[in-house]
Amino acid sequence: MTALAEPHTRHPNTRPQTAGGWARFDAGVRLSAGAALWLGLLLVSYWWVTGGGVQALTGWESALMSTGRLTGLVASVLLLAQVLLMARIPLLERAFGQDRLARQHRLVGFTSFNLMLAHIVLITWGYAAGDLAATPGTFWQLTVDYPGMLLAVAGTVCLVMTVVTSVKAARRRIRYESWHLLHLYAYLGVGLALPHQLWTGQEFLASTATTVFWWTLWAASAGAVLVWRLGQPIARNLRHRLRVGAVVAEAEGVYSVYLTGHDLGRFPALPGQFLGWRFLDRPGWTRGNPYSLSATPTSRGLRITVKALGDNSARIASLRPGTRVLFEGPHGRLTERARTRPKVALIGAGVGITPLRALAEGLDYAPGDAVVIHRYADRPLFDAEFEALAHRRGLRVVHSPGHRRAPDSWLGAGAGQFSDATALRAWIPDIADRDVYVCGPEAWAESVRRSAVTAGVPNERLHIENFAW
């Protein structure tokens, strides 16, 4: 089966009217989002100062209480900011891309968690009149007697579980499906903290301005989750009603799933994007997996290509035609929207070639303006399809076979003794004048990024998606 047929109907917001138009718009969104976060942090710090926070630092007990309030305020802003970062808000998704949002979410999340722990320790220590030995008993008394504190403790436990399983050492030991399910407890943790903050937090109710600020921030966070994480996916699944059409083996352990559905001419995904997929044929279907489109979506169907790695992906081969499919997304900025130059280079490793295969079909380019560097160990995926694109559209395909020649190199063993950057410039002499799209394992993609930068590609023209989670 092949997907080289019908041209894709483009989303109206994917092609900039001028080169780099969407890139500049997205850069403005990123700048505005960062400014809004810093403004929120400065605003709560200002209210802390005007509420006597600095004056309270003169005494030991009052200093503990005051710094505890400040860490709690900053932690609350950051906690809600990370909810907004991962709420699938389209404006942020298009501007940042999932990889960048995930990195920001991780940084903000760990920072807010550390500040939250500091808040708990400092406030409890302050209520214990600065007596460290009395702190455990005071913590128990606060939990039992103060309004909303028991819920806040339960919320903290949920957040602790989320953070512990997000540490890289722990993530490597658990399945993606299990991690994804555990990570959802973060929403429960944030929700359980609300009553405590509104009932006992004097900083939240000190004035009309502070009350409006906090209620607005909470409502925006809850609304974003309800609309973009729940409402939109439900509406899209009801409209498109996807089912498995066929499963085709592409290589050992690699399978393409062809999907059919309704009104696919309006399916929202673009070449290069990925979606979260749930196949309703087995227990555990609630745990979704991210798979990229491996062909340009058409009104007749979609295609994803999956390597059997985790529990769910290993079962792809046994999917039966007619199986119902739920999806969430699309996600990712590895699309034409990020493009700023007429010429492009697509660099992929193994099954990471999947979204680049879709891009090679879906992008607009003149013959010779698009180059694919295909890195693989044994045999290339979609070899015949790339050849067809080369014949029809003038795509140039460069093969880099064999196992990696060194841990810090992205090249195959047959690349000789040239440096990575030298080999890249030899294959694509004008690489510095192109947008470069990269997809593959995290360490490998970082090697590509370093060599591309050395070869003269600016960071803003490097569009990278990796397999890290």
On the question of pLDDT at 331 being above 60, the answer is: yes
pLDDT of residue 53: 86
24-29 mean pLDDT? 88
On the question of pLDDT at 15 being above 50, the answer is: no
Helix (H) or strand (E) holding 387: helix 383-393
pLDDT of residue 8: 39
What percent of the chain has a predicted confidence (pLDDT) above 90?
40
What percent of the chain has a predicted confidence (pLDDT) above 70?
82
Surface-to-core class of residue 463, CB atoms within 10 Å of its CB (0-12 exposed, 13-18 middle, 19+ buried): buried
In this structure, is the dihedral angle defined by the CA atoms of residues 84, 89, 94 and 95, taken in order, positive or negative?
A: negative
Give 398's pLDDT tier (boundaries 50, 70, 90): very high
- Comparing CA positions, the residue from 415, 423, 418, 425 lying closest to residue 456 is 425
- For the chain, the farthest-separated pair of C-alpha atoms sits apart, in whole angstroms, at 79
Residue 329 identity:
G
Mean pLDDT for the chain overall: 83
**pLDDT, tens only, 60-105:** 888 998 998 899 889 889 988 988 888 888 888 888 887 788 788 7
Give 16's pLDDT tier (boundaries 50, 70, 90): very low
- Residue tagged 């780099």 (tokens): 20
pLDDT of residue 322: 95
pTM passes above 0.85: no
On the question of pLDDT at 6 being above 60, the answer is: no
CATH class entry, domain 242-331 = mainly beta
Most confident of 78-87, 370-379, 386-395: 386-395
Give 14's pLDDT tier (boundaries 50, 70, 90): very low
**pLDDT, tens only, 128-180:** 888 888 888 887 777 777 766 767 777 777 777 676 666 665 556 666 555 55
337-466 fold: Rossmann fold (3.40.50)
Dist. CA 187–CA 202, nearest whole Å: 24
Q: Where are the domains of the chain?
A: 35-235, 242-331, 337-466
